[in-house]
Amino acid sequence: MAAFLAQPVASATGTPTAERSTPGRPRLLVVHPGAELYGADRVLLESATALATRFDVTVALPGPGPLVGALQERGLPVVQCRMPVLRRAAFRPRGALQLLSDAVLGALPALRLLRRHPAGVYVNTLTLPSWPLLARLANRPSVCHVHEAERSQPRLLRRAMAVCPALADRVIANSRFTLDVLTEIAPRLRARTAVVHNGIAAPGPALPARARLDGPLRLLFVGRLSPRKGPQVAVATLQELLARGVDARLQLLGSVFEGYEWFEAELRQTVDAAGLGDRVDFLGFRPDVWPRLTAADVVLVPSVGDESFGNTAVEAVLATRPLVVSDASGLREAAAGYRSAQPVAVGRAADWADAVQRVTAGWATFRGLAWDDAAEARRRHAPRLHQERLVEAVAGIARGTARLDARPARREEAAGRPVLAGPAPVG
């Protein structure tokens, strides 16, 4: 019987968290495909917090993880609900069977959740196509927030990924790049898609980088240990710098996604074979990235696959650290306008080492530019602005509004502020 029910998740005190029901406030369901605390998970945390200013929010997750506690610390009730998550593995026989099993066993508890939330469902990814479909069956509106933009993927996979936003009443994209990639496959979605850049909460008071580069240069990579995120490029960059006589160390902050343990093993073998064991630190996953960012001198974001935006790049800027970033996809949009950020050709370790050496050669200049850029990043990605734009987009669906005024969005885009794009008719 438990398989057919959405299970309340216990709080840190061991007490199950109840769904909210405040008189006069519409009830909104928020769904997300994981429970970790990487970039997309932290964006979900901020989005759910923002939506809770207007709605009684319940968050549905497929399982336990550190995101559960982070949501509960903000007073947000969490339920565990089986749900099909569209990943690459679903195109293999075993993955397809798992997807079908999750869809069948998760349908009834999902419908019950939807019926308890008249304001509808906010789906925080395009990898959860069942929720907009079930929302239609339950006569509830749905919003799909798209954070994925992988232009290099096979067209069949991209079409499958477009099912969720195609079924939703309203679509939100986290960048112009994401919108462009999505509408290459589903051009009709442009008319009902809004662009809302991610809100990223800055750490406390800004801390400048150290005044002098005494001792080894401290390089930092933050993100999943996966081939597309490029930690192998960070290691190759370190190797190139050492060959040039630069005293440097590298920290890799992140862990592997389930099924990619082989990649971490290969990466560790590469480090050992190159004699870099005393120069590279595998820190694993840390829920709080800011202490490592503020301890670094230069942050590397060397993704070799498409990125829809680039939260890690923005976090480096918010931490007042010079940034070297792949000159591609949504990373280009995330780093645009920051003078302490250097876009570099994807995957070319020699070019990355050149960029790092430009930072060290002009340390005082880059240090000052990073300080100025941090102030601009705090303005662009202020959670308050993200909150206002996100709530406006979702509230329009909840009350049946079909259109948003585009003129304020265009003025804000011209001024360099985060954008809620329009017009955006629904349906």
At 143, phi and psi to the nearest 5? -125, 130
Residues 149-165 pLDDT 10s: 988 888 888 888 899 99
Residues 125-145 pLDDT 10s: 888 999 999 999 999 999 999
Range of the domain at 357: 217-380
Q: What is residue 4's predicted lDDT score, i.e. its pLDDT?
A: 44
How many CB atoms are closer than 10 A to CB 427?
10
The token pair at 243 is 């060959």
Asked if residue 402 and residue 342 are part of one domain, the reply reads no
- The count of domains in the chain is 2
- Tally of residues, the chain: 427
Residues 242-290 pLDDT 10s: 999 999 999 999 999 878 899 999 999 999 999 999 999 999 999 889 9
Asked if residue 397 and residue 369 are part of one domain, the reply reads no
Please state the rounded mean pLDDT for residues 80-89.
85
Asked if residue 388 and residue 376 are part of one domain, the reply reads no
Check residues 226 and 96 and name the one with the higher pLDDT: 226
Mean pLDDT of the chain: 87
Asked if residue 259 and residue 160 are part of one domain, the reply reads no
Asked if residue 286 and residue 180 are part of one domain, the reply reads no
Asked if residue 167 and residue 69 are part of one domain, the reply reads yes
Asked if residue 76 and residue 153 are part of one domain, the reply reads yes
Q: What is residue 150's predicted lDDT score, i.e. its pLDDT?
A: 83
Please state the rounded mean pLDDT for residues 345-365.
97
Asked if residue 404 and residue 259 are part of one domain, the reply reads no
Residues 11-29 pLDDT 10s: 433 344 556 667 778 999 9
**Per-residue confidence band for 10, with pLDDT thresholds at 50, 70 and 90:** very low
Q: Which residues of 29-39 are buried (b: 16+ CB within 10 A; e: fewer)?
A: bbbbbbbbbbb
Q: What is residue 416's predicted lDDT score, i.e. its pLDDT?
A: 40
Asked if residue 310 and residue 229 are part of one domain, the reply reads yes
How far apart are the C-alpha atoms of 192 and 190, rounded to whole Å? 6
Residues 216-233 pLDDT 10s: 999 999 999 999 999 999
Q: What is residue 406's predicted lDDT score, i.e. its pLDDT?
A: 33
User: What percent of the chain has a predicted confidence (pLDDT) above 70?
Assistant: 87
- pTM to 2 decimals? 0.80
Q: What is residue 400's predicted lDDT score, i.e. its pLDDT?
A: 54
Asked if residue 152 and residue 237 are part of one domain, the reply reads no
Q: What is residue 410's predicted lDDT score, i.e. its pLDDT?
A: 38
Q: DSSP for 262-279, please give it.
A: HHHHHHHHHHHHTT-TTT
